[in-house]
Amino acid sequence: MKWVLYEKLRAATAAGISAALVTRLADGAQSFFDGERWEGALEVSAEQRAQARRMLVADKSGVLPGEEGLFVRSYARAPRLIVVGAAHISQFLAPMATLAGFEVTVIDPRSAFASTARFPGVTLLDGWPDEALDALRLDATSAVVTLTHDPKLDDPALIAALQSPAFYIGALGSTRTHAKRVARLTEAGFGDGLARIHAPVGLDLGGRAPREIAVSILAQVIQVRYRGGAQRDSDGKLGR
């Protein structure tokens, strides 16, 4: 391993950022990849980069498809779920996600909602969502879900998530609510990336109770983590 790539990998892991080393087995040439930046000697196709990202998100290592013999070694932290909005759904989603192996953080500047009494054992941040997300340094193994129903809180969080390599972005709200959200974010200059947002959030499991919606959200986050993509039309959603 070249020293410069080792230093990049060491710095990434020290900062809690998931990263991977990609090695050409024939000659040992390597590149560093953190789900967004690709640095090093290897030239790879867009599909190979996408596949390497999927492997990093899922914390898998292995050989990329193709004749080049490129081996991906993932160094992934535990997946993170960042929930914006300490709502009733969040109270069910946070412990479920923790049991599923996610590091959970709930962000809400409203202290009456984001309390340890309502969220025991969960990391709580009371800053403004975009500032809190920036401090968390979202990486390729991060998922962000906005649940406040308040554009003043959700929109800044979504913008911060769209500017990151987060593997999943979801937003609570009906189809009509999301159409208004798309119009606002498009006007703000983020139209090209809005397909990354899963909205209405969650798989269409048929439930409407907060705990059932939480299950649908976590199920979709896990699905996207391992299967990738934003197959919203075929997966279906809860109409909220």
Residue 132 lies in a domain: yes
Residue that is last in its domain, among 60, 75, 90:
75
Residue that is last in its domain, among 15, 46, 75:
75
Counting the structural domains of the chain, the total is 2
The full DSSP string for 41-55 is: S----HHHHHHHHHH
Q: Do residues 40 and 133 both lie within one domain? A: no
Residue 50 lies in a domain: yes
Q: Do residues 45 and 148 both lie within one domain? A: no
Distance CA 227, CA 57 (A): 10
Q: What is the pLDDT of residue 228?
A: 83
Distance CA 74, CA 72 (A): 6
Question: CATH no. for residue 201?
Answer: 3.40.50.720
Q: Do residues 141 and 69 both lie within one domain? A: no
Asked whether residue 239 carries a pLDDT value surpassing 70, the answer given is no
Q: Do residues 97 and 178 both lie within one domain? A: yes
Residue that is last in its domain, among 40, 75, 110:
75
Over the chain, what is the mean pLDDT? 91
Instruction: Give mean pLDDT, residues 76-81.
Output: 96
3-state percent helix, strand, coil for the chain, nearest multiple of 5: 40, 20, 40
Residue 181 lies in a domain: yes
Q: Do residues 117 and 179 both lie within one domain? A: yes
Name which of 37, 43, 34 is nearest 70 in CA terms: 43
Q: Do residues 87 and 166 both lie within one domain? A: yes
Could you tell me the residue range of the domain that residue 104 belongs to? 80-235
Distance CA 137, CA 197 (A): 19
* 166-223: pLDDT as tens digits: 999 999 999 999 999 999 999 999 888 999 999 999 999 999 999 999 999 999 999 9
Q: What is the pLDDT of residue 2?
A: 79
Q: What is the pLDDT of residue 229?
A: 64
